[in-house]
């Protein structure tokens, strides 16, 4: 346990610019439905392997401890255990159709709200004009 933690600390220290790399290398994310596993990162080169982090989360590193990506085992149960935050973000990848059913009403409401706002602003404009005219 202690050894694992030390290993993870070493990996963290060996990747100080991870955030920048994630953006510059345009890491991608995909869901392997048949293995129930979410993969994210760049291409995993020969020689790279996983180090378990916690709760089904794995980090893929090379021999030089460079991080090539992450994986989440048992993605569906991970989402159930973490319904907020990371789990919520992953649910869009794991359940794209269900997420679409969720996002469409939100978009619809946003659209309706925006439409209503535009109507109200025109109405306000009209009211202001008419008041000024009077």
Partner 1 sequence: MLSWKILHRFVEGMNHEPVVWFEEDYLAVRDGKKNHTGHLEIETHFKTVREAIENPNEVRQDRNEDKRKCYYAWFSGDKDYSNQHMKVVLEHTWYGKIRVLTAYFTAFFPEGEETIWNKT
Q: How far is the CB of 54 from partner 1 (least distance, A)?
A: 7
Q: How many CA atoms lie within 13 A of 51 on its CB side?
A: 24
Per-residue exposure over 9-44, b if at least 16 CB sit within 10 Å of its own CB, e if not:
eebeeeeeeeeebbeeeeeeeebeeeeebbbbbeeb
Q: State CA 4 to chain mean position distance.
A: 26
Site string for partner 1, 58-87 (x = CB under 8 A): x----x-----x---xx--xx--x------
Question: Minimum CB separation from partner 1 for residue 67, in Å?
Answer: 13
Residue 38: CB minimum distance to partner 1, A? 11
- Which residues lie below 8 Å from residue 46, measured CB to CB, with a gap of 6+? none
Question: Residue 45 or residue 126: which is nearer to partner 1 going by CB?
Answer: 45
Q: Which helix (DSSP H) or strand (DSSP E) does residue 67 occupy? A: strand 67-72
Nearer to partner 1, 19 or 54 (CB): 54
Binding site for partner 1 (CB under 8 A): 1, 3-4, 7, 28, 30, 32-37, 39, 41-47, 49-52, 54-56, 58, 63, 69, 73-74, 77-78, 81
């Amino acid at each position: 346990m202690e050894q694992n933690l030390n290993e993870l600390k070493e990996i963290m220290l060996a990747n100080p610019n991870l955030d920048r790399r994630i953006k510059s290398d345009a890491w991608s994310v995909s869901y392997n439905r048949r293995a129930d596993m979410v993969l994210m990162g760049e291409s995993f080169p020969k020689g790279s392997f996983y180090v378990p982090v916690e709760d089904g989360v794995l980090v893929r590193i090379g021999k030089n401890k460079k991080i090539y990506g992450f994986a989440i085992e048992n993605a569906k149960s991970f989402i159930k255990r973490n319904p907020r935050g990371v789990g919520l973000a992953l649910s869009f990848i794991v359940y794209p159709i269900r997420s679409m059913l969720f996002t469409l009403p939100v978009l619809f409401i946003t659209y309706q709200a925006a439409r209503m706002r535009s109507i109200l602003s025109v109405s306000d404009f009209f009211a202001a004009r008419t008041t000024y005219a009077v």
